[in-house]
Structure formats: C-alpha cells, structure tokens
Structure 1
Amino acid sequence: MNKNELAKKVVKKMMADDAFSQWLGIEVLDIKPGFAKLQMDIRQEMVNGFNVSHGGITFSLADSALAFASNSYGRVAVAMENNISFMKKVIPGDTLTAETQELSIGRRIGVYNISVTNHDNKQVALFRGTVFRTKEQHF
C-alpha cells in the first residue's frame, strides 16, 4: 500500500469511529500524508446565546483536521496543545472548510496550522496544533 492509500485508509477508519465528527457533519474532501481538507455546514443547533456559532464548533472542525492530518502517516498521534484565533463570526448556513499545513514532523512531535475559511473563502479562524506521535500503528 502506498502512502496516499494508507493516509486515506487511516482517516476512513478514524472517521467511522468518530461519532462527534459525524454529528458535526464533517465531510472529508482530501487526505494525503500530513494533509487534510475537511468541510461542514453550520446548523442552527450549533449557535450560542449571541446567535453565532459556538467557538467550540469551529475549534472542533480544526481539531478533526489536525487529528486526520497527523495520523495520516499510520502512526497514532494525539494532541498535546492547541490554540485558536477567531477572526470573523460564523453563522448558521455558513459552510466552513478546514485545511491543514504541516509545519514540522519529527519522530515524536508534529506541528500544524489549520486555516478555517467560510463559503466566501474568508478566513474565520487560525488554529495551531501540536501532536505527540506514539509508537503505536493504526494497522
């Protein structure tokens, strides 16, 4: 199995077992080793008291992109530290896309930026995640 096939197989398995990403309605658009592009629609039940999407929704989309990208090499990777900067409000009806950029990948640590954009291709958030790469393999 080549690296691209492995990446897709890992993410397919992860997504099948990920009830929260399924509830969010995440669609996997593209997967390659170290790269994930995901999309989801913002629904009314995702808003907070200000009638904008709860920040945790955008964070969760980016966190799923981090998980899929960092695990796509076949080794189990778990988040160590994440942070997010919100730039624009997100409202019901928006379609968000999260796209990863692998900044560094080592034997034990990986660092990623995840840009989250809306359907107008405006950046709504920037997420940075650091993962610990375990010795465990997905397959």
Structure 2
Amino acid sequence: MIDERVLNMYKASNNFGAFLEMELEVLEEGEAKYVLEIKEKHLATPIAAHGGVVAGLIDGTLGVAALTISGQNGNVVSTVELQVNFLKPVVLGDKLTSIGKVISAGKRLLYVEAAVTNQKGVLVAKASGTFNAYPAEKAFKSLNIDV
C-alpha cells in the first residue's frame, strides 16, 4: 500500500516540479503520471522545448513511481542513473504526459521505465532510470519533519 505520508512530504518539498508546473497523479502502486504543458519559459529556441525540461519531467515521473514502492518502507529515492531518448521535437503548447512504471524493485535499487507522449498521442521520449532507496529521515531532517 502506498504511504501517503511520504508521498505528501515529497509533494510539499518538490520545488522543481512546482517551477516547471508539473501535475502529478499516482496511478497505482509502482506507477505514476506527470502532465506538463510547454510554455515559453520551457523553450530553448523560439518554438522548441529544452531537453532538460523533458528530462526533468521524466526524472520526476520515474522517481515518484519508485517512491510509491520505496515509501512503503519509510524510504525515499534518489536518481542513480537516468537514460533519456528524445524521439520527436517538443514545441510550444504541447501537453506532455509522462507515465512511469517500476519494472524491478529490490531492497535498495529500483529500475523504472517511462514513456512521454504529446496531446496527439505521439511518443516524444522514452526513458529508464535506476533509483536508490534510503531512509526518509535523511531527506526531511533539515525540514524538521518527523518521518
């Protein structure tokens, strides 16, 4: 079962996701979705989004999918490895949907995959990542939050 307490602490402290204006939805245990509309602040050229925005969207998606598993044991996750394949351009006004799914979960390492589509259902990126699970106390200690 997903630990809502750990998930809520993540949501409250995720300034980067708020900056990008990503909208989170946990689909089920081990699966998460983020949605992001590409705005002018996301552009690297007059019409195309910066790859780092898409990579950030993906990293968040993969991480939350992993968090839904690791959080069950009072753990949070950090990215160990991230691989992104950019398949199509992402342009101003695109509404991206990134869905991540945990493929394998051990005690400390989780492997997650994601796909990103635009509003037309076109696959624009694929990714995978490895995440390290560690005690939530380490992440939230500086915020004076009891875990």
Question: Structure 1 length as normaliser, TM-score?
Answer: 0.88
Find out whether 1:116 has 2:112 as its counterpart. no
2:28 & 2:19 partners in 1: Cα distance?
23
Gaps of 5+ in 1: none
Structure 1 residues 114 and 38: alpha-carbon distance in aligned structure 2, compared to 1, 3 A threshold: same
Say whether 1:10 aligns with 2:6: yes
**CA RMSD of the aligned region, Å?**
1.5
Match of 2:44 in 1: 48
Match of 2:17 in 1: 21
Q: Does residue 39 of structure 1 match 2:39? A: no
- Which has a greater percent of helix? 2
Deviation at 1:50, TM superposition (A): 5.7
- State the percentage of identical aligned residues: 27
TM-score, length-scaled by structure 2: 0.84
Unaligned runs of 5+ in 2: 138-146
Counterpart of 1:61, as a letter, is L
Contact 2:67/2:77 (CA < 8 Å) preserved in 1?
yes
Aligned length: 134
Give secondary structure in 2 for the equivalent of 1:114.
strand
* Distance in 1 between residues matched to 2:21 and 2:46, nearest whole Å: 22
**Is this contact kept in 1: 2:97–2:116, CA < 8 A?**
yes
